[in-house]
Every structure is written in structure tokens, then in C-alpha cells.
């Protein structure tokens, strides 16, 4: 039985959406695009009416300022907006593109954002396996720590050290 909270969008439509986003990012960044990763509910193929499309963009030469990075996200969104509106009319989901921009140096550092990505990310671009290597490293660190993903109802969290005792340090 389908989950009544999630929109009934065919997997092929997600593939089409990811391909469009991939094309727009490749057009914007060209060879500077190192990785493009979809994560979150869209990567799982289970979106709700107001779900966003979470995207990690790893590119060389990004501006240092957060506002400038957001401006780039707006450019990509504007380029895709006519197609996204048509997609929304057909599927009932009008995805807000939620970008997280990182340089390769920034992306290579372990981040809590990567924990779930180790299990459900969709790598849309991955030059020379760069981000697969990052995720494999994070997954190894999680395994070494004995971390596990715990589901409670429809939500989950990471128990980073199930045998934790006061005074223990957790490093991932």
C-alpha cells in the first residue's frame, strides 16, 4: 500500500528531474563541476507536496561568500523554472531547489550531512569517483565507531556510539 503522505510520482519522473538538474549544473559549471549529489526525500523517491530537492554541488572555483553561492543557486533555479513548473503541473510536486555548495576541499571534510548520504545519495555527477570516495570514507568511519541508523516511526536518527558511556568521545 502506498504511503498516503507521499505523492505518487513514478521513479522515471525523478530520473527525468535529476537529468534536467544535471544538465543545468553542467552548463553552469562545465568542467569545474566535480560532483552533483541528490539527497533527502527526492533521492529516496518519496516526496510530499512541499518537499524540496536537496542538492550538494561540489565545484572548483566557487566564490567564498555564502550569498554569492546562493546567487548561483538562484541562476540555476531560474534556468530550470519553466520546466519545473511544467513538471509540477504534471506531478503535483513543485520542487524548491535547495543547494549546498562546497569546494572539493570543503567537501572532503566529514560532515553530518553526509551520514544519511552514505545510504541514500544519488550521485548525478561524480568526476573520478571523488564524492563516492568521500562517502565511502564516512561510511567506514561510521562503521568503525559502531554507529547505526535508528528508525523511530517514520523518522530516524544516527546513534553514533551505541555503547557510549559518560566521558567517552565520539569522533567520525
Which residue bears the cell 555527477? 125
Task: Give whole-number Cα distances, 23 to 73, 74, 83, 84, in Å.
Answer: 14, 15, 12, 14
Question: What are the phi and psi torsion angles at 75 (to 5°)?
Answer: -60, -45
Integer Cα distance of 45 and 162 in angstroms: 29
User: Does the pLDDT at position 136 exceed 90?
Assistant: yes
Average pLDDT, the chain: 93
Domain extents for the chain?
A: 11-128
Question: Beta-strand (E) ranges in 67-139?
Answer: 96-102, 122-126
pLDDT higher than 80, residue 93: yes
| 157, HSE (Cβ side, Cα atoms, 13 Å) | 6
Over 80: is that where the pLDDT of 2 sits? Answer: no
Over residues 44-66, the pLDDT tens digits come to 999 988 899 999 999 999 999 99
pLDDT of residue 1: 40
pLDDT reading at 118 higher than 90 = yes
pTM of the complete model:
0.91
Fold of 11-128: Beta Polymerase; domain 2 (3.30.460)
C-alpha cell at 129: 569517483
Amino acid at each position: 500500500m502506498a504511503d498516503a503522505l507521499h505523492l505518487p510520482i513514478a521513479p522515471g519522473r525523478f530520473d527525468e528531474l535529476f537529468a534536467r538538474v544535471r544538465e543545468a549544473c553542467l552548463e553552469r559549471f562545465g568542467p569545474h563541476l566535480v560532483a552533483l549529489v541528490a539527497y533527502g526525500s527526492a533521492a529516496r523517491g518519496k516526496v510530499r507536496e512541499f518537499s524540496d530537492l536537496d542538492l550538494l554541488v561540489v565545484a572548483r572555483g566557487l566564490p567564498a561568500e555564502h550569498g554569492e553561492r546562493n546567487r548561483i543557486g538562484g541562476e540555476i533555479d531560474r534556468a530550470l523554472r519553466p520546466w519545473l513548473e511544467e513538471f509540477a503541473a504534471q506531478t503535483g510536486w513543485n520542487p524548491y531547489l535547495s543547494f549546498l555548495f562546497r569546494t572539493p576541499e570543503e567537501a572532503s571534510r566529514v560532515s553530518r550531512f553526509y551520514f544519511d548520504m552514505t545510504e541514500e545519495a544519488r550521485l548525478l555527477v561524480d568526476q573520478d569517483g571523488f564524492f563516492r570516495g568521500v562517502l565511502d570514507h564516512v561510511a567506514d568511519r561510521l562503521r568503525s565507531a559502531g554507529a547505526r541508523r535508528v528508525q523511530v516511526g517514520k523518522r530516524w536518527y544516527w546513534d553514533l556510539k551505541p555503547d557510549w558511556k559518560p566521558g567517552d568521545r565520539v569522533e567520525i
